Structure 1
Amino acid sequence: MTSDIHTGITECIRNVAEEARELYLDKEVPVLSVPVSPLTFYREYVAPNKPLIVEGAIQHWPALHLWEESYFRQKIGDVEVSVTVTPNGYADAVTDGKFVMPDERKMSMSNFLDELDRPDDHRVFYIQKQNSNLTDEFSNIISDVDTQIDWGTEAFGQAPDAVNFWMGDGRAVTSMHRDHYENLYCVVKGWKKFILIPPTDLAYVPYELYQSACYREKEEGGFEIVDDEETGKVPWVAIDPLCPDLDRYPQYRHTRPLEVTVHAGQMLYLPSLWFHHVSQSHGCIAVNFWYDMQFDIKYNYYKFLESVADTVSTNKS
């Protein structure tokens, strides 16, 4: 690729990001006190792919006042739930140059709560099974929440693909990534802090290929990292927004992250393909609804921008 062409494409990519900020993206995530109509939600937030906080979306949920430790022990204390364990709180994240997934196990809800009550310096527990675990493992308390967000379901034109229950240690962190889902994320207890980057900044979010691996807890204590030879290498975001290595990835300077904290009783609409990094308070509880995104012309544009950015990056290196 010649220098002039490379420069021209780089400028076009920069214009995409800058014009998105100037024309329609908000400098802060807007907050609404009550839900809007499905039509307004779709027209003003889903179609333009813009995040939103809604304060009054789940105020009617019994879970807001019922979901305490004593309630869980009484209602589902003996129920086996899927739990992930890591030595550092980072599951599905880059560690020691590998993409490392957590150690997964089954334990009773009471045992999980015991672990949260007495945090271990070397083990971080998190309920984060993203397979609609609320409707499966937590079916005994599902009546405490809605199984779908009615105005979201109408706006998206479909029922949610998955409804997930999240609860865990305050050290648990979700590394930066993106999903092919429209996400309605509801915090029931505590808070979640999101760092968000729009899809129009994707050219500035570095990816690398990493050997897939997983944590395994050793009998004598501690963890080892075991390569997953069957999966091989996987692409993953190469930068931690909490401490970005700008010497290695200087292009990240061009991103304009948004930070938002979602408190108990609030819902975040996290649009499809937005990059997000998540941290939380200790014992935070959340329920999220994943709706499959529409693979329409916006997705075509997104994949085109991704391909162009990859081409520029490859030729530059």
Structure 2
Amino acid sequence: MVGHCSERGAVPPRLHRQLMGVAMISQRLTAAVLMSAAMTLVGSGVVASKVIAGGMHPLLAVPLRFLISTPIFIGLIYLTRTATPRLTVRQFLIVALQAAAGSAGYSILMIVALAMTTSASAGVIHGLLPVLAALVTTLALGERLSARLWVAIAAATSGALLVNFSSSSGMGFDVRQLMGNLFVVTAVSGEALFAILNKRIGIPLPPLYLAALMSGISLALTLPLAVLAFMFGSVEYTGPALLATGYISVFPTVLGFWLWYSGSSRVTGGEAGIFMSVLPVAALLLSYLFLGEAIRPGHIAGISLVLIGIAASVSRLGRGSP
């Protein structure tokens, strides 16, 4: 009788496979929504940085950003009971270098850059990140550049160069905007360096713990710069810049982080990389909607090439994903 009941209650194999397929699709859809939302928030951070650039000194805005985000991260670690493994001196120095290049340095360079270039251009160039990360990782591991990665580099670089033609005076190089765009490339390179340094730590750190460490170290690195700004310069700020700093501290920095890791934990690294393409698109559209910046043919052509580069680079990652 027991055996008969268990057979009647068992799920037929075909139905089981269908249910598993639906569950997998649901999980991928959830991941897609979470990661798209995360990259949209990060793209909005580019727009917020443009507002900050017009109303607050970067040496004041950046420490303030981490002064707000660090306690939030610490609180989240406490609430979620996230593990906080002790680091060796070497490991801590690697994390500190990550914070200096991919967090503090990136934030300062972006604000400096956006005082000279448009948010739309910066957003498109930001799409270089996954391509640069793939390039840096390949070179650091001593691997030869594959044909696919060469295509990714060529497409993304061409797209970034095209953006430099989209100046306020029409098609042609604008020296000030070109300098700003170069600062954006430097900032994004710092984030790419973060990716390879993460592999050098030696132990997998909980993402929330790593984010809290980087935020706290970035605060420690930039706070003395804020003191110098107060001592030797006139520190002024506007209301919109102050609000933008608060926004970027909470939404792109904290909420964007949570959404990204909640989504990326459900898919492979290659699949997650595809959603980085949402960032430049979101930044371009939000620049138009909130800042009234013109979207020029150079932006459209540039972002198309950058997206091709992203697709080529992450398809390479996807083939090596488990």
TM-score by length of 1: 0.26
Question: Bigger radius of gyration, 1 or 2?
Answer: 2
TM-score by length of 2: 0.26
Select the structure with the greater relative contact order (CA < 8 A; seq sep ≥ 6): 2
The structure richer in strand per residue is 1
